[in-house]
A = this chain, B = another copy of it.
Amino acid sequence: MQFSSSLLENAVNEFAKLPGIGKKTALRLVLHLLRQDKNEVSHFAEIIAKMRTEIKFCNRCFNVADGDICSICSNSMRKQDVICVVENIRDVIAIESTQQYSGTYHVLGGVISPLDGIGPDQLNIESLLQRVEKEKTEELIFALNPNIQGDTTIYYIQKKLPGSHIRTTTIARGIAFGGELEYADEMTLARSLQNRLPVESYVAGK
């Protein structure tokens, strides 16, 4: 791409560094911003700079937070002795959006994946084990992606858990709503047969 302005070129190159944004999309975004009001664009730039410097990570669950403790951990209406273990912040937002969960979270920051060089030490696992012990957690719900790395991580944490007073569960794996049986992979179908539910509990939505 040939630019007649180096400022434009710089801006396009910066946007093109974002994931999933190519040069053409970057140019479209920059030209859109150029047409916007000056104050609006400087507000946008401020928000970006502010976000990076001011967003913190919760000391307890490693979710994003505006202060030292996130709004979920500091909410006394939520069951503080139930922890949902997730891979990243996007998963927290996805689960929160269901409005069906009233416990807390623990963001691992990834899953164990030896091929990518990610071991337990790179993840927030030690802090989870300490938290479970200190807080006398009742239930640990693993909401990790259903693949080998997720299962390995569950297995590793399960082994390390102190004592047996704690209940551990994983979210159900099965055929998604709107999914079609014939296109489901064998493993999902096999597991959903193994873990079949009584019809009355399914109908009641329990």
Which of B25, B45, B53, B54 interacts with A46 by CB under 8 Å? B45
Which of B4, B28, B42, B52 interacts with A41 by CB under 8 Å? B52
Separation in Å of the A29 CB from the closest CB of chain B? 5
Q: Check: A33 CB closer than 8 A to any chain B CB.
A: yes
Which of B5, B48, B90 interacts with A48 by CB under 8 Å? B48
Q: Is the CB of B34 within 8 A of A51?
A: yes
A61 closest partner in B (C-beta):
B4
Q: Contacts A32-B18, A32-B19: A99 and B51 contacting too (C-beta < 8 A)? A: no
Q: Is the CB of A7 within 8 A of B41?
A: no
9 example contacts (A-B, Cβ-Cβ < 8 A) are as follows: A5-B66, A5-B70, A10-B47, A14-B44, A19-B29, A27-B90, A34-B52, A36-B52, A41-B52
